């Protein structure tokens, strides 16, 4: 999904109301360059920085629509787009979004300030609250679905 916001940090062009959150309160919303440099150094040292995107790519249908809420510098979103997915990245930290835009000169990922979205319109949202390890595909589960990963009585 190629496209960009109009530069004000909001995907749909309206000026967003910037809610305060703990991340922005603690970092001052200026940690994007340092965060991007940290992962660039890891990649330069030969570390695997695309494991999350590789895992999601294996789980998702081809050309899936993905919402990366808390996308930060766009590392996961950009890799998913490179792998053919249609990605929207959202983050409250404007300095992180600036880094994501700079890393994506072709506009493969739409990035901006988060707005409410209909969960059924995306196949995955890798950044659940910006907490690593909490990445999972989203969508409604039918009540008839058995709990995943649990043994059922008699089996």
Per-residue pLDDT of the chain (155 residues; tens, 9 = 90+): 444 444 444 555 555 555 567 877 888 778 899 999 999 999 999 999 999 999 999 999 999 999 898 899 999 999 999 999 999 999 888 899 999 999 998 888 888 877 665 555 656 666 544 444 444 444 444 444 445 555 445 54
Residue ranges making up the domain that contains 112: 48-135
Read off the pTM.
0.63
Q: What are phi and psi of 124, to 5 degrees?
A: -155, 150
15 domain residue, yes or no: no
Q: Would you state the torsion angle of the CA atoms of residues 118, 100, 106, 48, taken in this order, to the nearest 10 degrees?
A: -100
11 domain residue, yes or no: no
pLDDT given for residue 114 in this prediction: 73
129 domain residue, yes or no: yes
CATH of the domain at 68: 3.40.50.150
Q: Contact, 12 vs 109, CB < 8 A?
A: no
Q: How many domains does the chain have?
A: 1
83 domain residue, yes or no: yes
29 domain residue, yes or no: no
* First-to-last C-alpha distance (Å) of the chain: 45
pLDDT given for residue 124 in this prediction: 63
125 domain residue, yes or no: yes
């Amino acid at each position: 999904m190629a496209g960009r916001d109009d530069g004000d940090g909001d995907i749909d062009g309206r000026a967003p109301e910037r809610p305060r959150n703990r991340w922005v309160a603690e970092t001052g919303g200026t940690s994007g360059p340092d965060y991007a440099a940290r992962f660039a150094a890891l990649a330069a040292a030969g570390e695997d920085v695309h494991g999350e995107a590789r895992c999601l790519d294996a789980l998702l249908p081809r050309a899936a629509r993905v919402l990366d809420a808390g996308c930060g510098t766009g590392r996961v979103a950009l890799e998913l787009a490179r792998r053919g997915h249609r990605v929207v990245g959202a983050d409250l930290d404007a300095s992180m979004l600036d880094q994501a835009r700079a890393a994506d000169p072709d506009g493969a990922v739409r990035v901006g300030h988060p707005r409410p979205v209909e969960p059924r319109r995306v196949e995955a949202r890798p950044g659940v609250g910006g907490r690593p390890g909490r990445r999972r595909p989203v969508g409604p589960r039918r009540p008839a679905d058995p709990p995943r990963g649990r043994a059922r009585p008699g089996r």
